[in-house]
Amino acid sequence: MTKYPQVTRAAQQPRKRTAPPGKRATPHAGTRVVTSVGARGAALANTRGLDYPLIAILATMLALGLVMVYSASFIQAGATFFLRQLLWVALSIGILLITINVPYRFWQQMAIPIMLIALVLLVAVLIFGDEVNYAQRTLFNGRVQPSEIAKLAVVIYVAAWVASRGKQLADVEGGLIPFAILMGLVAALLVMEPSFSVAIITLTIGVSIFFMGGGDIKQLLIVGAIGSVVLLLLLWQSDYGFARIRDWWRALSDPTHASYDITTSMRMLNRGFRISFGTDPSEWMDKWAIPLLWSDYLFLNIGHDLGFIGTIAVVGLFAAFGYRSLGIALNAPDQFSGLTAIGITTWILAQAVVHISTSLALIPATGQPLPFMSYGGSSMVSSMAAIGLLLSISRASSERKAPYAHFAFGWGNRGSRLPDSGRSQRPETNGPAKRKSAGGRGQESGVRGQRAGGKGQETAARRQARKPRGRTNKASRNTGGR
């Protein structure tokens, strides 16, 4: 496999087409003639294997998110949040283009430095972070959120680490204990902010990569049970987290004593079965009452403005994203790229599920943005960088001759549940077919050997036939001379 995708031979040279009898062949028959620079670049891009359906899904999410951010914030801030989000989207698209053109193996080599930077930022936010609503989650006046960077760092580092362990991943000492120490450290730093929802999402990302890399399911269940008990104890001891759980539980048991945010959000959803875009003045107060509607509750605003059809469309977009990204993971060139694609898919879908569940009051308030749509710079930049890495893997996968990679879902499989680079190049054959192909190759080699032996015997015969002639002539000449 080459380091960079190469233009196919068909794109480099026109394909010659033979003309029917009696007709003259045109010089460029059957080929597409590129006349402009833009068309030339488009033709070149088509050969690079980018997942264009995934790009279309992403563009739809970004456009819809900008409209919904403006709809949710124009009452309080006019176009301020919309213009800021537009700036973040433009910056994120630039980062997306950069990460697409960087070979994915570069991130595998930089896994340790990226993880160290993320850990340093998680420690720095606890010391120098901006305190907002009894939590320290951001740096530089809210411009940088280290927890979002930590998600991407966990994806890259855990995928690289799991790919390097091989079958040792199923062992307790070589796989489970180092993995538990790393994820426990990251989760502890996130809980100290506090940010329980990000800690749960990050743990979900790491566990999915560890499992698909060949981790033992029994060991994961045991560690997961212990980790869940520890998180519940920490939530019980945390005033911040326990208050959110208490308000949510009151809303379920007695809606009349629910918090104002939950009551208002439920009223907005009840009104949201028709398309309104907030044009009714009587509904503006509900939008104004819910805090951070443009970020933490954007799905709620989508349901209010676009109704049930709009919410189903958003869920469908994320389902289509999961389908396309899972396809990239299935056809990944090697184990690291496949595990990275699995981690990114888990990250985006898990965060979307948490945000939607929060908006529907199915779980306590978490403050997680809706990927690619909610207002927020750090979340947008990190998510788009992850998609750039995903598209880079997709482009590298297109260089393979055929997509034979597949998951090996088997509870007894102690190896990787993703194929390695050797398996992904050609299909595996076993049984009689494999022996038959091996026998065919052996017979072909035997025939070639017989042909080579025949040629050798023929050459030796010719040499032997020539030698007597030369000696006889020489002898006759000597005799005649005497």
412-437 pLDDT per residue, tens: 344 566 655 444 444 444 444 444 44
Longest dimension (CA), the chain: 137
* Nearest-angstrom CA–CA distance, 358 and 3: 43
Question: What is the pLDDT at residue 353?
Answer: 96
* Nearest-angstrom CA–CA distance, 60 and 302: 14
pLDDT tens, 116-158?
999 999 999 999 888 877 778 888 887 889 999 999 999 999 9
Q: Which of 327, 265, 330 is nearest to 300 (CA)?
A: 265
Name residue, tokens 């991407």: 152
> Taking a C-beta distance cutoff of 8 angstroms, is the pair 362, 12 a contact?
no
End-to-end Cα separation, the chain, in angstroms = 74
Cis omega (within 30 of 0) for bond into 419: no
Residue 384 φ then ψ, to 5°: -70, -35
Q: Which of 344, 444, 359 is nearest to 392 (CA)?
A: 344
Rg from Cα positions in the chain: 32
Task: Collect all residues with Cβ–Cβ distance below 8 Å to 212 and sequence separation of at least 6.
Answer: 338, 339, 342, 407, 416, 417, 418
Q: Which of 283, 318, 281 is nearest to 299 (CA)?
A: 318
* Nearest-angstrom CA–CA distance, 99 and 391: 8
**DSSP sequence for 193-232:** TT-HHHHHHHHHHHHHHHHHTT--HHHHHHHHHHHHHHHH
> Taking a C-beta distance cutoff of 8 angstroms, is the pair 325, 390 a contact?
yes
- pLDDT < 70 stretches in the chain: 1-48, 239-241, 251-288, 399-482
* Nearest-angstrom CA–CA distance, 173 and 22: 77
- What's the predicted TM-score (pTM) here? 0.73
**DSSP sequence for 152-175:** HHHHHHHHHHHHHHGGGGGSIIII
Mean of all residue pLDDT scores within the chain: 76
Residue type, 470: G
Q: Which of 271, 207, 251, 287 is nearest to 363 (CA)?
A: 251
> Taking a C-beta distance cutoff of 8 angstroms, is the pair 204, 346 a contact?
yes
* Nearest-angstrom CA–CA distance, 44 and 394: 16
Q: Which of 175, 205, 150 is nearest to 340 (CA)?
A: 205
Residue type, 333: P
Question: What is the pLDDT at residue 434?
Answer: 47
Q: Coil, strand, or helix at residue 136?
A: strand
Q: Which of 268, 422, 271, 414 is nearest to 333 (CA)?
A: 422
* Both tokens assigned to 285: 């107060």
> Taking a C-beta distance cutoff of 8 angstroms, is the pair 36, 368 a contact?
no
Q: Coil, strand, or helix at residue 429?
A: coil
Could you give the angle at which helices 52-77 and 298-330 cross, rounded to 10 degrees?
A: 160
